[in-house]
Amino acid sequence: MSYDTSGIHAFVQDERNQFVDFWLNTTGTVTIKASNGRQLYPMWIVVHATYYMNNQVLSTKDYHVYCPSPTPGGGGREVWLVFLGPGVTADRVGLSTNKLGPIPDLGAQLAEQARPPIPPKSDTIGEHVPDLSGLARDEEGIINQLETNGHLDGGDSAHRTGFAAFLNSQIDKDLLPRFESNGIMKRHPSQAPWNNWKNCTRDQLIGYTAGCWRTGRPGRDINKRLLDAHLARTPPSCQDTEEKEPGSTKKGLIPGAPPVGDLLGPHDIMYLRICAGDDAAYTDALGQATLQGAIDVASVQDTTVDQNNLILHAIVCGRLKLLVTMMPQYEDSIRYYWSEWRGQPRIAEEFIWVIHEELKRYQ
């Protein structure tokens, strides 16, 4: 029997001697060939397909694939499967799976793990003017999430503003001081319930302080106040002792104990110290060890897992080359996060451009 292999072809290797060939056919259907060369190991995986047009995510779809193990002593097994199409017109398909990828270049990974971090440098992108067109902004000019009902939600505005400032957006650099006062920051300066400082999380803090770091001295003064306030808590933690609504109580780590905000690890504290102007903090051995551990964990996670803040850590703390060596599919992860329902694909493309510029420091 012959199968349709017309159209766009994609390929992914799932662990050792297990492969998936994927075709988005010209007829709109999907053809998958699963090849299993592992004796005694049936191949049962979920293939994650991401459909792109002009580097923007149009849709994602999971395909469950099974291929029996080869006959002992015989050759590999192949299974052909045909699925309904995604219902979109794409120019590229990205593939990943829920299993480990091909055996990595262990030599390159070991070399990067042994390589010392490089000193921080906040002015690596010079006068670059990012193209952040298409972002939804409120009447104050602050980035919001445009929801399907047309509502603008500012729950991630601190993170988005900081992220855009990190990409060198001047309008967002100018907005940064509005989010912080005396070491306390808010998700949004005025929009309820996000103007409640007690629901501002670690995610917001990391993205926001990256943008402040990029601006130089004024932003670093903001970061110094934030660092001092976060370190003053026992244990070092973020402000989010409440849930979304003001007056609510976040569930504590220990029943009956007072609620504690998101905890800060040694790599978070190292990152914040650098963002506050302490460049020598990149030599913090414990901070670098926990950052490397976080990168190791991320390297075996699916591309649908958000790694944006970890990448910011790696850039600021001088371990970006290690991260891209351990996570060769980092671009797919970035595009997945910022596209589709978030509808902010220009942030993804500008962030990838910045990463490429930052990597030049490691040559």
Q: What is the CATH number of the domain that holds 26?
A: 2.60.40
Query: Are residues 354 and 296 part of one domain?
Result: yes
Are 206 and 93 members of one domain? no
Residue-level pLDDT at 183: 97
Pairing label, strands 184-185, 180-181: antiparallel
Q: Residue 336: what pLDDT? A: 87
Query: pLDDT value at position 45?
Result: 85
Same domain, 217 and 301: yes
Q: In which residue ranges of the chain is pLDDT below 70?
A: 14-16, 99-105, 247, 252-253
The reported pLDDT for the residue numbered 12 is 86
- 326 and 181 in a common domain: yes
**Whether residue 145 sits in one domain with residue 64:** no
The domain boundary residue, chosen from 47, 75, 97: 97
Residue 237, pLDDT score: 96
The confidence score (pLDDT) of residue 103 equals 52
Cβ contact 51:93 at 8 Å: yes
Half-sphere exposure of 273 (CA within 13 A, CB side): 19
Q: Which domain holds residue 54?
A: 8-97
Residues 314 and 186 both lie in one domain = yes
Query: Is residue 169 domain-resident?
Result: yes
Q: What pTM value is reported for the model?
A: 0.77
Residue 1 domain-assigned?
no
- Last residue in a domain, options 97, 119, 150: 97
With b for 16 or more beta-carbon neighbours within 10 A and e for fewer, the 290-317 pattern comes to bbbebbeebbeeebeeebbbbbbbbbbb
* 126 lies in the same domain as 183: yes
161 and 294 share one domain: yes
